[in-house]
Amino acid sequence: MTDLWQDAMDHAVSAARGAGQVVREALLEDRMVMVKSSSVDLVTQTDQKVEQLIIQSVKEKFPTHRFIGEESVAAGEPCVLSDEPTWIIDPIDGTTNFVHRFPFVAVSIGFSVNKQRAEPAGRASGPGQQRAGPAGPGQQLSRASGPSQRAGPAAEPLLAFLQVEFGVVYSCLEDKMFTARRGRGSFCNGDPLQVSEQKAIQQSIIATEFGSDRDPEVVDKIFSSLRNILCIPVHGIRSAGTAAINMCLVASGCVEAYYEIGMHVWDLAAASLIVSEAGGVLMDVEGGPFDLMSRRVIAANNRTIAERISGEIQAYAPARDDAAAPGADP
């Protein structure tokens, strides 16, 4: 049977690699910094150029596909997911890092199709499927066991979830290409990834970010959550400065969990599949199902750690990514 999306995934990997080369070259030059939603929400010409390069190359090969790109949305394009094949692009995740030459910068490309196809857990989802169980980031099943033991239960209720078919995160200064295909596992430079087996949060490292919202009430909540989690106590707190790389660190087993409120769908789409395909779980910060458009996430190695973190977070709800979209989900 033809593998519908493998061509697109191969294209995403090569586009991400090409974009990474542009980012690395731009780091050697002066970077003109502009601001978006606030004085600490940065963008550069390289973000815009890289996004256009990726979109143009995809359009040439897949002229009917749609896009959600960070800089296109900033320029007024709608942020809409539909049943149509949609490329979800963050040209530079870690723009602040890029501006300061802090050495963690990623190109993130997720690909979704069939926005809300309801599918029973445990059904194989495509040609060449090697593992049972839904691997899309909208699902909330615990996947604490390793890749070899990940068959989903046979009779789960129907779940409506966003289907990310593949995710590509290229950590371009480390030259690490993280990839995941739905139902087929996660990889870094071709080597399979698996989340940490740690069950005790007291022996965990937790990643989070401070985002770009400087409203004192929000900052208080961020620090309150951080204090609660630090005092559990955990082994440590880390911030890579990019949501996508933080999540790839979860998938790689280097940190047990990452949580944040405020990042966007383009920061999360690709990496959410990389986490779930590495055996991790995705959850809303209040413990419900993960929602890619909600700008809230806990990505963890297992449900126990995710739930413990959700119990310590002072939650708030930023405007959804699809809030302004006509016909967006209520």
> Residue 306: CB partners within 8 Å, gap ≥ 6?
257, 281, 283, 298, 299, 300
Active site amino acids: 70, 90, 92-93, 95, 267
Question: Taking contact as CB under 6 A, which single stretch among the options 110-118, 152-160, 218-226, 255-263 is the one that binds ligand IPD?
Answer: 255-263
- Residue found under tokens 């990019």: 242
Is residue 222 near ligand IPD by the rule CB under 6 A? no
Q: Which is nearer to ligand IPD, 248 or 263 (CB)?
A: 263
**Residue 165 marked ligand-binding:** no
Residue 237 labelled as part of a binding site = no
Contacting residue, 267, 277, 284, 312, with Mg ion by CB under 5 A? 267
β 236-238/205-208 pair status: parallel
Per-residue x/- mask for ligand IPD, residues 197 to 216, rule CB under 6 A?
Answer: ------------x-x-----
**207 vs 223: CA distance, rounded Å:** 14
- The CA distance from 17 to 170, in Å, is 7
Closest distance to ligand IPD from the beta carbon of 92 (Å): 6
Pairing mode of beta strands 191-192, 164-171: unpaired
Could you tell me how far CA 148 lies from the centroid of its own chain? Answer: 23
Q: Which of 16, 23, 55, 93 binds ligand IPD (CB under 6 A)?
A: 93
Is residue 258 within 8 A of residue 299, CB to CB? The reply is yes
Nearer to ligand IPD, 202 or 224 (CB): 224
Q: Which of 69, 85, 94, 152 binds ligand IPD (CB under 6 A)?
A: 94
Q: Within 10 A of 191 (CB to CB), how many other CB atoms are there?
A: 8
CA distance 266 to 270: 8
Closer of 58 and 243 to ligand IPD (Cβ): 243
> Hey, is 38 helix, strand or coil?
coil
Site string for Mg ion, 221-260 (x = CB under 5 A): ----------------------------------------
- In the complex with ligand IPD, the residue whose CB is nearer, 99 or 180, is 99
Comparing CB distances to Mg ion, the nearer of 267 and 321 is: 267
- Segment interacting with ligand IPD (CB under 6 A) among 133-141, 156-164, 218-226, 239-247: 239-247
Per CB under 6 A, the list member of 242, 252, 301, 310 interacting with ligand IPD is 242
Q: Which residue is nearest to Mg ion (CB)?
A: 93
211 contact choice in Mg ion, ligand IPD, none (CB below 5 to 8 Å, kind-dependent): ligand IPD
* String of DSSP letters for 197-266: ----GGG-EEEE---S---HHHHHHHHHHHHHHHTTT-SEEE--S-HHHHHHHHHHTSSSEEEEES--HH
Q: At a CB cut-off of 8 Å and minimum separation 6, what does 215 contact? A: none
Residue whose token pair is 């593949």: 166
Cβ of residue 95: shortest distance to ligand IPD, in angstroms? Answer: 4
Q: What is the DSSP string of 8-36?
A: HHHHHHHHHHHHHHHHHHHTTS---EEES
Q: Residues 304, 199: contact at Cβ < 8 Å?
A: yes
What track of x and - describes contact with ligand IPD for positions 53 through 82 (by CB under 6 A)? Answer: -----------------x------------
Range in contact with ligand IPD (rule: CB under 6 A) among 74-82, 88-96, 301-309, 313-321: 88-96
Question: Given the rule CB under 5 A, which residues bind Mg ion?
Answer: 90, 93, 267
Residues that bind ligand IPD (CB under 6 A): 70, 90, 92-95, 209, 211, 241-243, 260, 262-264, 267
In the annotated binding site for Mg(2+), the residues are 70, 90, 92-93, 267
- Report the binding-site residues: 70, 90, 92-93, 267
